[in-house]
Amino acid sequence: MPKVVPEYKEQATKKILEAARSVFAEKGYHDARMEDIAEMVGVSKRTLYLYFTNKEELFAAICAEAPRTMQGVMDSTLGKPQDIQDFPSMMEGLFDKLLENQFAGSGPGSINEIRLNYEMILAASRNPSLKKIIRESSEKEMEILTAFIQNLRERGLLRSSLKPSILARAIFAIYPGLIGDIMVGVDKSEVRKTWVDTIRTLVGEAPIKK
């Protein structure tokens, strides 16, 4: 583990956050200990405290990463808004991309990541300070997707009566539930079809018949 100096701090912080994500996902925020995170990174607890003074700081740092991660996934998977020709197909491709990582163990769309999201929401529901942190992060993610949808609507790819913020919030609400179905054993192809048909219904297009 590098010492706390500018040229190594970013790398060290990244390692700590990766460990914290794993520990929070496995044990939950309440039962996770700073000792557990330090052990996973391979440093002493004293060294860990040079970077983060408590679990709440780690929680906030993980939440702060979420909007940047989302933007990165959208940029790499969807391309630029001006390159999109069909919104439902775009969302279908995004869902497929996330499912590729479903059992990878880490990263956007992975089971570990989804489990972490559930754990963080549960922790936030019991702690006003954590609730504020996760709410601010979620709103930033919403702003990113809303702006993307707004761009597509202005280009005529979505009906003008559709409200981007409402569609964005609906998408955020649907995805975790469908991934939850996969986690409890529902066939992925069935979940995928539900996703595609739901998106098409939301934007006013007929679901695909099979």
Question: What are the tens digits of pLDDT across the range 5-61?
Answer: 555 788 889 899 999 988 988 888 889 999 999 999 999 999 999 999 999 999 999
Residues 84 and 111 reside in one and the same domain = yes
| 58 part of a folded domain | no
Q: Which domain holds residue 13?
A: 1-53
How far apart, in Å, are the Cα atoms of 49 and each of 15, 16, 37, 144, 175? 14, 11, 11, 33, 35
Number of domains within the chain: 2
Residues 79 and 173 reside in one and the same domain = yes
Instruction: Out of 18, 35, 53, pick the residue that ends a domain.
Output: 53
Q: Residue 113 burial (CB < 10 Å; 0-12/13-18/19+)?
A: buried
Longest dimension (CA), the chain: 59
The winner for highest mean pLDDT among 33-37, 128-132, 160-164 is 33-37
Give the CATH number, domain containing residue 7. 1.10.10.60
Residues 82 and 176 reside in one and the same domain = yes
| 115 part of a folded domain | yes
Residues 125 and 198 reside in one and the same domain = yes
Rg (CA), the chain: 19
- Angle, CA of 132, 139 and 53, to the nearest 5°: 40
63 and 17 Cβ atoms separated by less than 8 Å: no
Which residues are within 8 A (CB) of 79 and not within 5 positions of it... i.e. 6 or more apart? none
| 32 part of a folded domain | yes
| 210 part of a folded domain | no
Residue type for position 129:
S
Give the CATH number, domain containing residue 147. 1.10.357
Question: What's the confidence (pLDDT) of residue 105?
Answer: 46
Mean predicted confidence (pLDDT) in 167-181: 86
Question: What's the confidence (pLDDT) of residue 146?
Answer: 92
DSSP 161: T
| 208 part of a folded domain | no
